[in-house]
Amino acid sequence: MASKKPTKSAYGADQISVLEGLEPVRKRPGMYIGSTGPDGLHHLVWEVFDNSRDEAMAGHADTVELVLLPGDKIRVADNGRGIPVDKHKKTGVSALETIMTTLHAGGKFGGDESGYKVSGGLHGVGASVVNALSTYTRAEVHTGGGKYEQEYAIGKRKAAVKKIGKSDMNGTIITFSPDIEIFKEIKFNWNRIEKRVREQAYLVRNMRVRVIDAREADPKTDWNSTYWIADLGMQVPSQTFYFEGGVVSMIKHLNADEQKPVQKKIFYAEKEIDNVDVEIALQYVDDLNSKILSFANTIATPGGGMHLTGFKTALTRLLNNYNKANKVLKDGESFTGDDVLEGLTAVISVKMPEIQFEGQTKDKLGSPEARGAVEKVFGDAFQSYLEENPDDAKSIMNKMVLAYRARKAAKAAKDSILRKGALDGFTLPGKLSDCQTKDADEAEIFIVEGDSAGGTAKQGRDRRTQAILPLRGKPLNVERTRLDRMLGNEEIKSMVIAFGSSIGEMFDLEKARYKKIIIATDADVDGAHIRTLLLTLFYRYFPQFLENGYIYVAQPPLYKIQKGKDLRYAYTDAERDIALVDMGADPAGTIDETPDETEDGEETTSNVADAKKRSGKARVQRYKGLGEMNAEELWETTMDPETRTLKQVTIEDAGEADKIFDTLMGNDVPSRKLFIQTHAKLAEIDI
């Protein structure tokens, strides 16, 4: 059969598009801000805030104010030098207009001459992109005794820069309103903004940052009539952050919920080597997990990079040198990287003129000079710290020894499990009803609460792709449990063997037997507790499953509604009421206390008063557990890929997730009590 020749179309200069000004930004916004979802929306805030933060980092400002205004507007003010308003030689218009309407125009490309030796702004795309993606932007500049303004719409100026008065202030105020046609939904997250602003205040010492939520304030207020919104004295949510201690204060904040610090004195070092300013603080606490945050020019680097590699290398070397010199372990024994990280809280921050990031997401520092600088600064300072603080050094060593012994015990426990599996021909747990396929891409495992629900799930499943693993009772809380003890728990041991990926340093994602791990528990308090215990296990010991989107939570219905041959399921009270109205029944029915009957005529033991109602001629059954469904119902509502609803579990903020797990599942009872009291009104309790 002759192949079809490709069609040749005209391709010349006329087919080459040239986008002028800020058109490329509106054409492909994802290239400049990552996405047009919540992350991209908040990226606009960071771009404007970071410009003011850079003024403070360069020593030209000491106060920054970020305000959420009515009408989806953001206002950022600083008392820095003020953007220049005189005419730019190359563009022929004001420098302010050039910066606000031209890509890659700014004061951070000229090195020391610009006054920005170090800048986080080079990581981003600047005010011009914010301007391009906003329906309204206003720049107000106070400089040289004058007050100037210019307004824009979708990146284009409305008029030339004009002087609107005198001023004894210096600084810049940027107000913008994101374009609803670009972002679809404009909803700023107060907690997200507050967290990042707090973080930046730690990283730039002596910078005062005010963040104000004025979205519910009177929209008729003239926000341009005052420099600082805080001076209006409005009764709105606000926070002010100011930390003289810098990253040491950050360590104190991160460890605020920890009861037993291992070190009495927080280690801190700061020094500049070869144009790389290194700042490090750390403290060991009585915990099994580590919290290490790294930054480059105040930009968070969750992917780590050269500065983190230099830190870990120096830390492991120094503690092993101390071990050899003081014979902490037997001859020939040494600590591993995992041993020295257990219980460590650390902040590593580097600032440098030229900065390189790796990858599309730019979350990993690639500048090689950062590694050598961190190793040198931290190595010298931490060695002196250990010598000058012998009590802290001894406490750290005792912590390392516990970690070392636990690692050995855990390895023995893992070897035992794996060896047993090998001797038995890799026998899977007896309670596991495995699926037929060996292709992990289509295989899924349901972790089901109780043998009753497990039996029903086994009957209703698709045997080819769905495996069922029922749990007996509540799994072990692993938040404060070492790996060796955890692997002694039969339920957890069954899961580890079933998953096939091993655990700890032997974990191998490629060997995972399922790419969907589905938690299926009852819709009651016990079910929620079991779900939380399982999520704790995955977060602490199988984080790669979460990072790669393997973990899901099943959403079984709360109600079965039947009127004649019309059968529906409802997942919330609101859905139940809508279904009843749609079926022509009255939602406010009376409780039917007649017990359910099984096929052989026996009464069930379910709480009938809670489980079933009659509303008109419609019958409403309230499910208390998965075991109350028959196999057909469970398949149709919870297991059938065509009709089921699954919630994928992701981690948007690892630091906040770590804190929540530690608070809810750890040993710090006062912190947990405070959390419960604070959020009690938000709880939905099924009584």
Query: Could you give the residue numbers annotated as active site?
Result: 449, 522, 524, 526
d(CA 640, CA 636): 6
Nearest residue to 557 via CA among 499, 644, 652: 644
Look at residue 146 and give its three-state secondary structure: strand
Nearest residue to 48 via CA among 132, 111, 116: 132
Distances (CA, A) of 339 to 285, 289, 312: 13, 11, 11
d(CA 456, CA 448): 10
Angle at 333 between CA 329 and CA 336, to 5 degrees: 100
**Per-residue b or e along 421-456, where b marks 16 or more CB atoms closer than 10 Å to that residue's CB:** beeeeeebbebbbbbebeebeebbbbbbbbeebbbb
Q: What residues form DSSP beta bridges with 47?
A: none
d(CA 274, CA 40): 35
Q: In three state form, how does the secondary structure of 10-23 look?
A: CCCHHHCCCCCCCH
DSSP 22-44: THHHHH-THHHHS-SSHHHHHHH
Residues 520 and 638 sit within 8 Å (Cβ to Cβ): yes
The count of other CB atoms within 10 Å of the CB of residue 138 is 20
Q: Which two tokens stand for residue 274?
A: 């070869």
**Per-residue b or e along 553-575, where b marks 16 or more CB atoms closer than 10 Å to that residue's CB:** bbebbbbbbebeeeebbbeeeeb
d(CA 20, CA 14): 16
Look at residue 64 and give its three-state secondary structure: strand
Cα dihedral: 675, 678, 681, 686 (round 10): 20
d(CA 542, CA 553): 16
Distances (CA, A) of 648 to 77, 102, 546, 658: 39, 41, 9, 18
Q: Which two tokens stand for residue 559?
A: 């109600």
Q: Which two tokens stand for residue 502?
A: 């091993």
